[in-house]
Amino acid sequence: MAYDGPVIDYGPNPPHGPDVTGHHPPFELTDIDMTHSEKEVFKQILKPDDSYDENGVYWADLPFFKRAKFVTKVNNEETRREFRAFWDMFKNDPLAPVGFYFRNMVLPGAGLGLEGYVLFSIGNLKPLFQKGFAECWNKEAICNPTWINAVDYLEICGIIVGQILVGVIGDWIGRRWGLIQDATIMFIGLIMLTASWGVTQNGWVICYAWSLFFYGIGVGGEYPMTATSGMENAVGSGTVSTRDDRLHRGRKVTSAFLMQGWGQFFNQVLLIVLLLIFHHGSGNAPYSKVAVQYTYRVSFAIPAVGTLWLVYWRTYKVKASANKQLQYAKKKNAVTGYDTESLSLTIHYFGGRLLATAGTWYANDVFFYGNKLFQSEFIKVIMPHSNSIMPGWLYNLINVGVSLCGYYLASFLIDNKLYGRKHMQSIGFLMDFILFIVPAFNFEYYTSVEHIKEFQAMYFLSSFFNQFGPNSVTFIAAAEVYPVAVRASAHGFSAAVGKLGALTASVLYNYIDTQTKFYVVPWFGLAGVVLNVVFMPDTTGLDLKEQERRWAFIRAGRENDYHGIAIHPKHLSLWERLRGVGKHYDAELDYAQRIEEMRREWEERMAQKVEEKEQAHDDAFDDDFHADVSSYFQRSTQSPMLRGAENEKIPPHEGLNGANGNGI
């Protein structure tokens, strides 16, 4: 591959750069040009041992058994390395691992934890309102039923607005600003929820519904901001990726996302404790209006304090480096505002991916909200005469615990190259389909007293596979399969379509009975499997820097000139492979191309340094010249000639020029 760029003169002692020969362009890049040590250096940079075997073969190019052996070896080595690091940390300070987990998993997902707390609190509080304010929430005698239903609808609408709006803002202004804005909106929304009131109960319901809408805007923004910032903090900016990004990117993002599950858990625990406190140690009906008021208002006031702290943290502790990768991409493409060109190109080149991330999220949210269908039915069978809300809350607490097991198992396996994102999502959807279709066509059998335990088991298993599958994968995939420039927008759009699935479920469930719901819901799981298999690419083990390299070629109108692993069949969807996207994949050609790119980048940097050095020299010369002139004028003002010129009212310039006109 011959170099056809400009020849740059670095002087008599040019530095040894990435042409790997010690000679400078023009040159021919061949194996003869490289010494053995130089080959090893480039192999370490371009073919890291966590993705390439000892012969420099990419892991996805290896035959199945060799691939399994290689992946297992890398994973075992990484596990041992992490355990040693953990043990060293623990020996130095037993609480250090807790601090590490808090900084790297809890804090990045704190917004989603608060979101999970509040949003799932709405569903938990509704049965309490129906018991404490029966005339309004249950019988709907003094309250407008439209506004009662609007509580669910406006919450979801607010989330949709936030997901799209803040997604665009995140790509336009930056991730850090989006994070601060989300936390601020959520804090104000929680104050509104805590203090919501009305002259009548119907007025209170209206205030409560609009407070949820406002809060939902902040919640919606958390989805694209947490996903993109968590992912990009792992990846970093520039052109060289990190081992941590390649091996643990999915775990890092999923570990932040699972804070949503902890939010649900703590909400349910606190509601149980608060009701026992304000209802005189009893969880049984009837519930006084005072107990209900105190329970729900204090339950919102507690996360308000945490959200205020989150505003502080994101404002003063989250550095501007949260925007580093976005700024790097914009600078590289000379973009100052929102990158509309990248948005247009994404729709054109990645339309199938948009269908995959948005469509699977839609199907998942129908399942996510449909999971509650089991609970009300088996409680009705187990406790047919119960008038208490406590059994529902306690079973929900168990269900959240099962969900957390699914979240954590997803974080452990989501980066495994032999399993990974795509398989996890397909299996999750398929299992949920089975777990819903079985009771749908045997409803009376499984809701009988004799078989209600099997019905309960399906309830908990559907929760587990929802988290250990589509709920976790949709969150990361919707950010990971798109370029940096539009990552937040694409994630926000996908999440918003997902919430349309939640809205579909909320509206649909008001018009059909429970058994019909079981007939309808399973098919969304089957649709999720199809969309995932056909349109979703598998980014497990893919270096996202390579995806940005491919994107640079697409933006330059040279898509077919890219030959790297971002178009490896393993990392493309079935739809993309059928369209021939991966036909230009060529490992050897790409390797030579990457060395060429590194050399050109090095030359640009060296040329920039030379220019900066020359500019600094010129600036220094100008400064010295001006200093000399200034010094001369200062000395001249003390000379007898100038003082004489001043005494004789001669203009200063005449005195300086002198009588003979020779000037300075």
State the Cα–Cα distance between residues 428 and 422, nearest whole angstrom. Answer: 10
Q: What are phi and psi for residue 28, nearest 5 degrees?
A: -105, 130
Three-class HEC string of 228-240: HHHHHHHHCCCCC
| Nearest residue to 217 via CA among 247, 183, 250 | 183
**Which DSSP state fits 318?**
S
State the Cα–Cα distance between residues 101 and 368, nearest whole angstrom. Answer: 27
State the Cα–Cα distance between residues 364 and 116, nearest whole angstrom. Answer: 16
The full DSSP string for 62-88 is S-HHHHHHHHHHHHHHHHHHHHHHHHH
**Which DSSP state fits 137?**
I
Interhelix angle 487-508/351-370, rounded to 10 degrees, is 40
What type of residue is 17?
G
**Which DSSP state fits 58?**
B
CATH of 100-541, one of 1.10.10.10, 3.20.20.80, 1.20.1250.20, 3.20.20.70: 1.20.1250.20
Residue 364, sorted as left (phi over 0), alpha (psi -120 to 50) or beta, turns out to be alpha
State the Cα–Cα distance between residues 374 and 514, nearest whole angstrom. Answer: 9
CA R_g for the chain: 32
CA distances in angstroms from 11 to 16, 23, 615, 618, listed in the order given: 12, 13, 16, 18
Are 326 and 484 contacting, i.e. CB atoms less than 8 angstroms apart? yes
- pLDDT score for 23: 43
Q: What are phi and psi for residue 21, nearest 5 degrees?
A: -125, -25
| Count of CA atoms in the C-beta half-sphere (13 A) of 202 | 9
pLDDT tens digits, 459-503: 999 999 999 999 999 999 998 999 988 898 999 999 999 999 988
What type of residue is 380?
K
For the chain, which residues make up each domain, given as ranges? 100-541, 545-585
CA distances in angstroms from 112 to 3, 64, 163, 182, 280, listed in the order given: 50, 38, 13, 11, 33
Q: What is the distance of C-alpha 641 from the center of its chain?
A: 75
Are 532 and 426 contacting, i.e. CB atoms less than 8 angstroms apart? yes
| Nearest residue to 354 via CA among 537, 485, 227 | 537
State the Cα–Cα distance between residues 57 and 22, nearest whole angstrom. Answer: 27
State the Cα–Cα distance between residues 274 and 281, nearest whole angstrom. Answer: 9
Q: What are phi and psi for residue 240, nearest 5 degrees?
A: -105, 125
Are 229 and 322 contacting, i.e. CB atoms less than 8 angstroms apart? yes
State the Cα–Cα distance between residues 216 and 115, nearest whole angstrom. Answer: 9
* Those residues with Cβ within 8 angstroms of residue 100's Cβ, 6 or more apart along the chain or in another chain: 89
Q: Which residues of the chain have pLDDT under 70?
A: 1-40, 233-241, 320-323, 328, 330, 333-335, 617-664
* Those residues with Cβ within 8 angstroms of residue 280's Cβ, 6 or more apart along the chain or in another chain: none
3-state helix, strand, coil in the chain (%, to 5): 75, 0, 25
State the Cα–Cα distance between residues 137 and 147, nearest whole angstrom. Answer: 10
Are 182 and 218 contacting, i.e. CB atoms less than 8 angstroms apart? yes
Q: What are phi and psi for residue 389, nearest 5 degrees?
A: -90, -10
* Those residues with Cβ within 8 angstroms of residue 455's Cβ, 6 or more apart along the chain or in another chain: 374, 377, 378, 381, 439, 446, 447
State the Cα–Cα distance between residues 632 and 127, nearest whole angstrom. Answer: 89
Are 499 and 160 contacting, i.e. CB atoms less than 8 angstroms apart? yes
Write out the two tokens for 29.
């890049």
State the Cα–Cα distance between residues 131 and 287, nearest whole angstrom. Answer: 7
Where b means 16+ CB within 10 Å and e means fewer, 354-391 reads bbbbbbbbbbbbbbbbbbbbbbebbbeeeeeeeebbbe
State the Cα–Cα distance between residues 269 and 280, nearest whole angstrom. Answer: 17
What type of residue is 274?
L
Are 584 and 563 contacting, i.e. CB atoms less than 8 angstroms apart? yes
Using CA of residue 342, residue 216, residue 407, residue 175, what is the dihedral sign?
positive
State the Cα–Cα distance between residues 469 and 430, nearest whole angstrom. Answer: 10
pLDDT tens digits, 198-222: 899 999 999 999 999 999 999 888 8
State the Cα–Cα distance between residues 85 and 77, nearest whole angstrom. Answer: 12
Q: What is the distance of C-alpha 626 from the center of its chain?
A: 53
